Structure 1
Amino acid sequence: MTPPPPPVIEPFDPHAASEADLDALHAFRVAARAVDMPEDPAPSRAAVVGQARTATWSDSVRALWVARVDGTVVGLGSHELLAGVNSTIGYVDLRIHPAHRRRGIGTALIRPIAESVTAGGRDLVLGVPVKPGSAGEAWVTRLGFAFTADVVVQRLVVRGEDAVRPRSAPVAPGYRLVEWSTAAPEELIASYAAARQAIADAPRGGSSYREEGRWTPETIREAERHYVEQGAQERVAVAVCEADGTVAGLTIVVRYMFRPELGYQFDTAVMPAHRGRGLGLALKSAMLGTLRSEWPELERIHTSNNTTNTYMLAVNEELGFRPLRHGRYYELPTAQLLANLAQLPDAVSR
């Protein structure tokens, strides 16, 4: 039997890619989704292309590589070199077409990514969550990655026959709700920046990743510009303490216009002095009511939390979110990954 041809690994610019490459990228992402995440609907071509062209962090350095077999794209890998409190981390994502797994493509693809992470001065590789017991988990374990955190993704169905209408949760006396899109009001931005730092103490297991703890009005504006540049819509709701006019709590939902049916529940945080008053529940409840009316294309909202964050998981359950899947984070010092790769044959792969 003739062995399959070796993959060709090369840098990839999704903004300059040919239509044939983008078609192949969409085809293999649909095939991978059906195997890896059958609980999710197949992504549209616009969603796949948009995701490939969109950086997750506004201040990261992003680069992509593809694996080709007989000229067709069958794998995609990327890194984002993080900054700020996470400036030691290279965040890596890697996807392989199911029909081409266990042929050395994953190992061949991660080599230049790890080398680029090292060249970028990041000494730790952290990967997107893999499903417990999956082939992906077995592969990262063989490469020497260490388990650090377990997360659960929850989904709220907003529209359709399975839609859940969250219960109303009024804000506590002494507080008022304020909502906005795109830009924080000038009179609230300073205390909003301070409140965003409250997410830093959320449970994260053993992961080295930390939420940015140095929010300022300037970094808030930078993040807002990032969303606009990426074609995303950001919706924010805050609880304002009427006694002093400062932001006591917040919640944020973002969606990308290449996939308008899916929203991402990002930070929800309450300042320590204002906890125990149900502000998190009230903020999320108000936000969901707004999204139902202002984002008519929205069908689902996803959110993820460490499994140790029992408080927020319970709040989400009360609002109608249901568990969708678990994911396990793994990480490894970059130098150790390169050393381990040097000892492995190319065939050791997904």
Structure 2
Amino acid sequence: MTTIHRFGLPTHHTDPAWVEYTALGRAQDREYFGPGWDASPEAILDRARRSLDRHEVHRFLARRDGDAVGCAMVRRNLLDDPDAVDVSVYVLPGHRRSGVGSALAAAVRELVGDLPVTRATAWLLAPIPTGEVLRPPNGVGAVPADDPGVRLALDNGFELLQVERVSRFDFAAPLQDPAEALAAASAVAGDDFEVISWEGAAPADMRADLAVLQQRMSIDPPSGDLTVVESRWDAERVRYEDERLLPTMRRWRTVVRHRPTGQVVGLTELNRELTNPEGFVAQEDTIVLPKFRGHRLGMLIKAANLEFVRAVLPGAGSVITWNAEENRHMLAVNEALGFRPILVEGAFERPLS
């Protein structure tokens, strides 16, 4: 018999439900990536606590015969998009297609029905398709049609609206050495642009410019047929994000500054868990302001940041990144450096009455 248990954020990371919940999250990551995303329950709890004022989060466990075999989460972004929720459901492989996912989905539907929201989104990882596929309305990219997560999403009224490519870069085997890519891009960019890299918190005098870039990041990348809501950023939010992440993560950022104006016009970011020193490096946002595109600044900052991390972290193994399949410009930059596709991720959305 499957039972669903909803629980709140615990006071300590040794709370039994929290231990079970984070173990299931680790199992999900390992299913697709291996141990590269492992993070301690303590670090995950720390970040969750630091987000309480900006995110409403509900968590569920599914138990069968006393064992935790699945979990679900409903997250509502109170700052940027309070009219929507993001939902996720995970079931251990040995318990799929046995009603556990449906039971979790029913609990999620009941909860969401009581929230003042108008739509739900879900992002689902899946293997690169080899058989029958499901495509989004724009026809770019595909997910495997028979994937259990895809089937569960469709059965619960979600529609696939975009596909992202998940790619991996290995420092030991780049297609193009980051130092060489940096030199080539610098030659095209010219003397008007200055590259600046650092680890840790953003310098106070850059926060306003970084806020402009982060806000553009919410609307600039291709989004398929997904509903897009522009996020709101200012210097204080940049500072807040550093304070939220830096206790449990290392952050490396590279920006490009336009010398004639002094404006920071491009940004890229890499992160890694402090509690997993052998783990993956996550490629987060990369963006160049539209007015300054066409000078190879995207390649410039990505190559510079990879080179920076390689210098300060000689043992770095791999970088993982996500890009919309229709974002050919950024995919071309990644492919030139040696990022190779390893997974797909489907972006699903469902309107709510």
* TM-score interval (norm. to shorter): 0.7 to 0.9
Structure 1 residue 329 corresponds to structure 2 residue 340: no
2:305 aligned with 1:287:
yes
Task: Judge conservation of contact 1:93–1:128 (CA < 8 Å) in 2.
Answer: yes
User: C-alpha distance in 2, partners of 1:130/1:308?
Assistant: 17
1:257 aligns with 2:250: no
Q: 1:262 is matched by which residue type in structure 2?
A: F
Runs of 4+ with >6 A deviation: none
Instruction: State which of 57, 60, 69 in structure 2 corresponds to 1:62.
Output: 57
Amino acid at match of 1:41: G
Match of 1:301 in 2: 319
CA contact (8 A) 1:79 1:90 kept: yes
1:75 Cα deviation from its structure 2 partner: 0.7
Distance between the aligned counterparts of 2:118 and 2:267, measured in 1?
33
**Counterpart residue number, 2:78:** 83
Question: Which runs of structure 2 are paired with 1:23-102 in the superposition (5 Å)?
Answer: 37=32, 40-42=33-35, 46-47=39-40, 50-51=43-44, 54-55=47-48, 58=51, 59-102=54-97
One-letter amino acid of the counterpart of residue 279, structure 1: L
Letter in 2 for 1:78: M
**Candidates 108, 112, 116, aligned match of 1:121:** 116
SS in 1 for 2:57: strand
Q: Deviations over 1:172-225 (max 9, x none)?
A: 22111112233222222222222333322111111225462x321111111111
- Of residues 270-279 and 100-109 in structure 1, the stretch that sits farther from structure 2 once superposed is 100-109
Q: How far did 1:284 drift? A: 0.5
The amino acid of 2:320's aligned partner reads: H
Shift of 1:235: 1.6
Report the equivalent of 1:201: 220
Q: 5+ residue gaps in structure 1?
A: 336-350
- Cα distance 1:135–1:32, how it changes in 2: closer, same or farther (>3 A)? same
The corresponding residue for 2:210 is: 192
Hey, what does 1:227 align to over in structure 2? 245
Paired with 2:235 and 2:44, the residues of 1 have a C-alpha distance of 28
Provide Cα deviations, 1:286-318, integer angstroms capped at 9, x if missing partner: 100111122345321111111110000001111
Counterpart in the other structure of 1:271: 289
Q: TM-score, normalised by structure 1?
A: 0.82
Contact preservation (8 Å) 1:233, 1:256: yes
2:82 counterpart letter in structure 1? S
Paired residues for 1:7-18 under 5 Å? 7-11=3-7, 13=9, 16=12
* Cα offsets for 1:75-115 (capped at 9, x unmatched): 11112111344222211111101111122111211233333
Q: How far did residue 15 of structure 1 move? A: 5.7
Q: In percent, how many aligned pairs have the same letter?
A: 26
The Cα shift of 1:256 comes to: 2.1
Cα 1:304–1:322 shift into 2, 3 Å: same
Counterpart of 1:119 in 2: which secondary structure? coil
Structure 1 pair 29–181 and aligned structure 2 pair: CA distance change class (3 A): closer
Over the aligned positions, Cα root-mean-square deviation in angstroms equals: 2.8
Partner of 1:148: 161
* Whole-angstrom CA distance in 2 between matches of 1:43 and 1:285: 22
Partner of 2:138: none
Measured in 2, the distance between the counterparts of 1:273 and 1:97 equals 47
Match of 1:246 among 263, 266, 269: 263
Counterparts of 1:188 and 1:31, CA distance in 2: 38
CA change 1:94–1:298 in 2 (3 A) is farther
Residue 135 (str. 1) matches residue 159 (str. 2): no
Between the aligned partners of 2:57 and 2:23, the Cα distance in structure 1 is: 23
TM-score by structure 2 length?
A: 0.82
The amino acid across from 2:99 in the alignment is G
In the TM superposition, what is the alpha-carbon distance from 1:29 to its structure 2 partner?
5.5
Deviation at 1:149, TM superposition (A): 0.7
Conservation of the 8 A alpha-carbon contact between 2:213 and 2:288: yes
Q: Deviations over 1:237-280 (max 9, x none)?
A: 11001101111111111222233421111111111111100111
1:314 maps to what in 2?
Answer: 332
CA contact (8 A) 1:81 1:117 kept: no
**Matches of 1:250 and 1:318, distance apart in 2:** 19
Identify which of 215, 227, 252 aligns with 2:233.
215
Secondary structure at the counterpart of residue 192 of structure 1: helix
Counterpart-to-counterpart distance in 1, 2:49 and 2:341:
23
2:2 to 6, 10, 27: 6
SS in 2 for 1:7: strand
Please give the alpha-carbon distance, in whole angstroms, between the structure 1 residues aligned to 2:328 and 2:37: 34
Output the amino acid matched with 1:224: D
Q: CA deviation at 1:55?
A: 4.2
The residue aligned with 2:107 is 112
What aligned pairs does 1:138-177 form with structure 2 within 5 A after superposition?
Answer: 138-159=151-172, 162=173, 165-166=177-178, 167-170=180-183, 171=186, 172-173=189-190, 174-177=192-195
